[in-house]
Amino acid sequence: MIDRYLQQHRTRFLTELQQLVRFPSVSGQPVHHPDIRACADWLAKHFRQIGLTVTIHKTAGHPILEAHTPVIAGLPTVLIYGHYDVQPPEPIELWKTPPFAATVRAGKLFGRGASDNKGQFFAHVKAVETLLATQKPFPVNLTFLIEGEEEIGSGALIKFVHQHARRLRSDYVIISDTGMYGKGWPTLTYATRGIAAFELRVDGPNRDLHSGVFGGSLANPALVLAHILAGCVDAKGRITIPGFYDDVQPLTAKERRAWRALPLNDRRYAAELGVPTTAGEAGYTTLERRWARPTFEINGLTSGYQGPGGKTIVPAWASAKITCRLVPNQSPKRIDQLVVQHLRRLTPKSVRLTLDSGHYSPPFLTPTDGRGARAALAALATAFGRPPVCTREGGTIHILDNFQRQLRGEVLVVGLGQTDDNWHSPNEKMELNNFYRGIAMSVELLRRLSPAPAPAARRVLPKT
Amino acid sequence: MIDRYLQQHRTRFLTELQQLVRFPSVSGQPVHHPDIRACADWLAKHFRQIGLTVTIHKTAGHPILEAHTPVIAGLPTVLIYGHYDVQPPEPIELWKTPPFAATVRAGKLFGRGASDNKGQFFAHVKAVETLLATQKPFPVNLTFLIEGEEEIGSGALIKFVHQHARRLRSDYVIISDTGMYGKGWPTLTYATRGIAAFELRVDGPNRDLHSGVFGGSLANPALVLAHILAGCVDAKGRITIPGFYDDVQPLTAKERRAWRALPLNDRRYAAELGVPTTAGEAGYTTLERRWARPTFEINGLTSGYQGPGGKTIVPAWASAKITCRLVPNQSPKRIDQLVVQHLRRLTPKSVRLTLDSGHYSPPFLTPTDGRGARAALAALATAFGRPPVCTREGGTIHILDNFQRQLRGEVLVVGLGQTDDNWHSPNEKMELNNFYRGIAMSVELLRRLSPAPAPAARRVLPKT
């Protein structure tokens, strides 16, 4: 009955996704704020149509949509997160078809936001519609929480979740806002790295000075900065900030083994990035370095004259932007203290140091053998017909730790995107195969999260 | 008779200097190229009026003026250098009186180029006029060589001197295009530092990469750059490039003693520059560091994101502009080799290094006990009524080494500017006192360079 429904409404599901993608709901561009609002209204109406109760929460920024299935006492609570806002489409001239035309070509839906995140969360919406239409009772108590500010920092949502944490508490939180390890390779992401950002500025003379007249008699801020930065990481890629690694949870032998089995050709990887060779902390593989080891990364350097030719000055100041990626169980606050202490210690008296700590976010980690994780792995296997992989993610998804702490449930990250989906780039697309299989996966997962899940159509052993 | 002439024509000398300063002869701004030409024509006419033969040499850029006193066999040859082009006057709104109004206020002539270099070389022109009008025969065979491209690199002049070296060969070369050690303190500058410029670029990935997804698995070009730069100078300010100091001519005990006697309050110096404290190579004083020690100075740094806020990237590349100041007897070519070798050695295989060597210029040094130097010191003492000092200069005056090598004469650098003359800044000015005393100094110097110099009015012992 479920299969039949999915088959029968397949074309309409795509048509509806196209309608959704056609809203130019660019959260970062004020000219598109009416489109954001129209998109939220369309979604609210859609939720009501499929049988959910909906509230549009006004915020200081863009509205948050909260939708619920009818409450049934005793069933587990599930929250599904998504975002209806999108990145700016620029540069538009690089798109093969207009960014908001939602054109289908060769099994792909092209459009800004097709994969990030409309196509991904809408698969869950269609799964919920399918279950509402075919199953009585609905297997869980379900809440959709769909925000409109993910691309500009989720400011309103973070506040909202904090304020309504008690009410929103859920046994499970499902998020599809990431990619799969490989094309069509179902993936459960069980960890992400956290982040701590810093900006440091070394001030020397009160103006750029003639490097001939004055050079040699005062500290050169750019050179001092180079010494400070070089003093944070050694030649072997090891961070030399005392205490930095103290809280790092070591990789288990099982994880290392599992990751070594994942296909990754270091030479091809280097060639794709355009570097002569991979590099990083000695003793770790590329995946381990990306997923499970913390970093001290310079994001930008600025000092003195940067135009063509030369200018013979001792620059007045030099600055660096830095972000550290953090891994379980590092605390951003503790790392902030350690980094700040170390940078101050490395600064000579001949200059003035200004240090700003920027945004930070803790790392996220969830077990792969929890009830929810096991259900997700089974649902992924069923829907994609292939043993799923358990991976970590090197990037930071701020909201995950937030959900985990505030909503207290098991967080399940089941990405339906592919790494070649061109998020934030021209010609973004969603694989229709991932959209349809994503709907089936969501149906299966919600049923499995119910106290008495229906048996899976066929069992594929998850690969951890 | 000389004194009377100087006294009688004092007002006219200033009026003429004002006329000269009123030409907006900005060599770097095409809109002012007609003014450059007009200024050259005015000068040529002026030279003729006072009794010199003049040639205006066309060049690929701005004209070079060559003027001669009547040739008298057997007399020494003297070449006086100057430049009639000026820096741009911008920002004009910071000038108290218009930059080309040549306004006199409180004993100072304000105007772009008043001190750099019109007021300085014109003092020599007025000295030559005075001697032509009062002395028969003229004491030396004199050539003025006045260029119009000093502020844009002296390209045409360097070529011209090279081409006409044989004809221009002189026993003495006089240059007033620098400042005095202190206000009204006559100064002979006997050395300048040379320069060697480099630009290095460290290339990593073929685009800025997401620092979460990729960070840790490849070299960060900005961090590699920091390591390379930090590997060139140690924490004690000593350059660690092997062989860098090999050819440095050590300071003599006499020089060190003489410089220690010069007034320089390190604390006040640091306060003026706005630095917490002076710094530099251990074991040397501030003046020694500025005048007699080589440097490795970063002039600019560029990498990754530099705007407000943050951007979490591994930057695709990082670059640095560097200049080394060189001291006698360092060879720019040899230093270039050593620096390039060292930078290459410090570069890991995980990035690509691009190295460009820029302009370079050798250091300049001339003895302070040569015949010309002794004459200059005596003339300075006579004209300024105070024992002159012998100083070096930390900056580079490209043309000095050129003159020394090509024209083979003794190069005498007798600056008539003051450090507060605002060269290259708004409200540039020339102290009229320095202009008038400069004329008297030039008269005295030219007479002393003659085989049978007239005795000085009174003798003041030079301070070396």
Q: What is the pLDDT of residues B297-346, one digit of tens each?
A: 999 999 999 988 888 899 999 999 999 999 999 999 999 999 999 999 99
Q: How far is B203 from chain A (nearest CA, A)?
A: 8
In a mutational test of the B interface, the residue from A202, A217, A345 whose CB has the highest number of chain B CBs within 10 Å is A217
**CB-CB under 8 Å, B304 with A304:** no
Please name the residue of chain A whose CA is at the shortest distance from the CA of residue B203: A275
For chain A, say whether B19 makes contact (Cβ under 8 Å): no
In DSSP terms, B54 is beta-bridged to: B67
Low-confidence ranges of chain A (pLDDT < 50): 453-464
In this structure, the number of other CB atoms found within 10 A of the CB of residue B257 comes to 11
For chain B, say whether A105 makes contact (Cβ under 8 Å): no
Task: Write the residue in B204, B216, B323 that is nearest to A325 by C-beta.
Answer: B216
- Give per-10-residue mean pLDDT for chain B (464 aa): 95 98 95 97 98 97 97 95 93 93 98 97 98 94 97 91 96 96 94 96 94 95 98 96 98 94 93 96 96 97 91 94 97 97 98 92 95 98 96 92 94 95 91 98 97 51 46
Contacts of A416 (CB under 8 A, 6+ apart): A115, A119, A120, A123, A176, A180, A430, A434, A435, A437, A438, A441
pLDDT at A460: 45
* Nearest-angstrom CA–CA distance, A377 and A388: 6
In a mutational test of the B interface, the residue from A180, A193, A299 whose CB has the highest number of chain B CBs within 10 Å is A299
For chain A, say whether B305 makes contact (Cβ under 8 Å): yes
What b/e sequence results for A366-396 when a residue is b if at least 16 CB atoms lie within 10 Å of its CB, and e otherwise? bebeeebbebbbbbbbbbbeeebbbbbbbbb
Q: How far is A115 from chain B (nearest CA, A)?
A: 18
Question: What domains appear along chain A, each with residue ranges and CATH number?
Answer: 2-192+364-449 (3.40.630.10), 194-248+294-361 (3.30.70.360)
Q: What is the pLDDT of residues A131-150, one digit of tens each?
A: 999 998 999 999 999 999 99
pLDDT at B312: 87
Query: Which positions in chain B touch A395 (Cβ < 8 Å)?
Result: 210, 212-213
Please name the residue of chain B whose CA is at the shortest distance from the CA of residue A307: B300
CB B430 within 8 A of CB B106: no
Of B176, B179, B18, B42, which is closest to residue B112 (Cα–Cα)?
Answer: B18
Whether the pTM exceeds 0.80: the reply is: yes
pLDDT at B454: 46
pLDDT at A360: 87
Q: Which of residues 56-95 of A touch B (CB under 8 A)?
A: none
For chain B, say whether A396 makes contact (Cβ under 8 Å): yes
Query: Which positions in chain A touch B205 (Cβ < 8 Å)?
Result: 273-275
pLDDT at B90: 85
pLDDT at A250: 95
If 0-12 CB within 10 Å is exposed, 13-18 middle and 19+ buried, where does residue B431 land? buried
pLDDT at B360: 87
Counting one residue from A and one from B, how many pairs have CB atoms under 8 Å apart? 284
